[in-house]
Amino acid sequence: MASYLLKRVLLIVPTMLGIMLISFAIIQFAPGGPVEQMIAKLSGTDTSITDRIGGGGGGDTLGGQSQMGAGGDSVTSRYRGAQGLDPEFILELERQFGFDKPAHERFFLMMKNYLTFDFGRSYFRDVSVIELIKEKLPVSISLGIWITLITYFISIPLGIRKAVRDGERFDTWTSTALVIGYAVPGFLVAVLLLILFAGSSFLQIFPSRGLFSDNWEELSLFGKVVDYFWHLTLPIIAMALGSFTTMTFLTKNSFLDEIRKQYVVTARSKGLGEREVLYGHIFRNAMLIIIAGFPGAFISAFFTGSLLIETVFSLDGLGLLGFESAIKRDYAVVFATLYIFALLGLVVNVVTDFVYTLVDPRIDFDSREV
């Protein structure tokens, strides 16, 4: 097991390099980069999303590789809206954003800095990228932790009960409810909850925005805990509604597979009760894939699917940060978040394999090909 985990850890390096290289190469062809964004902002003609995607003239990530040798006109012609601006000013913008160097130099410099978790500063916010990410973490951590825990604590008992009562009325109507909940988009549920329980039209029970109240610092410890969960109630309900389905059916199918195996028949033939067979023999084997998948489930809930929920409830988390950074072409934030998310994902895969061996020591990864 140790040699297998060592191989997996060593593979993280080339995998990360490949992820970052491919992403960096794609970005080189994206029009409307940071320099062009700054020009539009200074000239008061900020471009729309459609203009940035479909606009001509090429992106400044490509233009940043050129030098001023072609003359001032060639400098200003590389960017939309730059005509009439001082070429020296354009070159200064390129130097500010690092586009005065060739692409390969920028990539290797970026990766060198990332090895020490030096992510630089945001292009359009006067703050370091790592501080910006730390600022947004409380929202994403809150949503990720509670969604994962609630999903496991509800889906696992429900899936076990559905497996035991497979084909009965309980199994049928719960499956129908789960499928409907999975089909309804989370943001529509969020809007409905906002209207019903946090708006002036109906009930004003829960807050409509933010993670904390304005008087957070004045509250007692108990008051802070209550206020925290008071703000999280509606967003968690909106996100969790569709998350039960996959885990519940996974639990049910896992238990059904184990129930039909020979060792269960043998245990029953020895006179063991159904509860003892279920929790004394089936549970450990059936829960292997579910328990081992917990790290991955947490990372998935932590980093994905929360953008629209954050927008509806005005929660300023990593989902909203990533979306806004991509729209604004804030590549410092985009690449930093990509690097962190990819690294965490790869590490979690290794942790998942380790958890497999803890749950069932009979698993031997050393005999597997990496």
pTM of the entire predicted model: 0.70
Tell me whether residue 2 is in a domain: no
Between CA 327 and CA 300 the distance in angstroms is 23
Whether 98 and 153 share a structural domain: no
Same-domain status, 112 and 147: no
Q: What is the pLDDT of residue 17?
A: 92
Q: Which residue has the tokens 């988009």?
A: 185
* Residues 226, 270 within the same domain: yes
91 burial level (CB within 10 Å; 0-12, 13-18, 19+): middle
Residues 327 and 362 in one domain: yes
Instruction: Specify if 177 maps to a domain.
Output: yes
For CA atoms 121, 20, 101, 124, the dihedral sign is negative
Residues 137 and 188 in one domain: yes
- 74 shares its domain with 185: no
Residue 370 burial (CB count, 10 A): 11
Burial class, 238, CB count within 10 angstroms (exposed 0-12 / middle 13-18 / buried 19+): buried
Give, for all 370 residues of the chain, the pLDDT tens digit.
677 778 888 888 899 999 999 988 888 777 667 767 676 666 665 544 334 333 333 344 333 333 333 445 555 556 655 565 666 767 777 777 777 778 888 889 889 989 888 888 887 787 888 888 888 888 888 888 888 888 888 988 999 899 888 888 999 999 999 998 888 887 888 888 888 888 767 788 888 888 888 888 888 888 888 888 898 888 888 888 777 888 889 889 888 888 888 888 888 888 777 788 887 778 877 877 777 667 667 666 666 556 778 888 888 888 788 888 888 888 888 888 888 888 888 888 788 777 777 766 666 655 555 4
Of the residues 63, 83, 116, the one at which a domain ends: 116
CATH number at residue 203: 1.10.3720.10
Same domain, 225 and 273: yes
Closest CA to 365 of 354, 202, 62: 354
Residue at which a domain ends, from 87, 116, 145: 116
User: How far, in Å, CA of 367 to CA of 334, rounded?
Assistant: 39
* pLDDT at residue 184, as a whole number: 84
Which positions ≥6 away from 256 have C-beta within 8 Å?
Answer: 163, 166
319 and 258 part of one domain? yes
In a domain, 170, yes or no: yes
Give the Cα separation of 30 and 304 in Å (integer): 23
Shared domain check, 94 and 148? no
Residues 6+ apart with CB under 8 A from 138: 211, 317
Residues 153 and 247 in one domain: yes
Are 137 and 318 spatial neighbours (Cβ–Cβ below 8 Å)?
A: yes
Residue 17 domain-assigned?
no
Specify whether 75 is located in the same domain as 155.
Answer: no
Q: Please say which residue of 116, 149, 177 terminates a domain.
A: 116
pLDDT, position 280: 78
The domain of 224 spans: 130-367
Q: Is residue 253 part of a domain?
A: yes
295 inside domain: yes
Instruction: Give the count of domains, the chain.
Output: 2
Give the pLDDT score at 175.
Answer: 92
Torsion of CA 102, 103, 106, 109, to 10 degrees: -100
In a domain, 263, yes or no: yes
Q: Is residue 97 part of a domain?
A: yes
Residues 222 and 134 placed together within one structural domain of the fold: yes
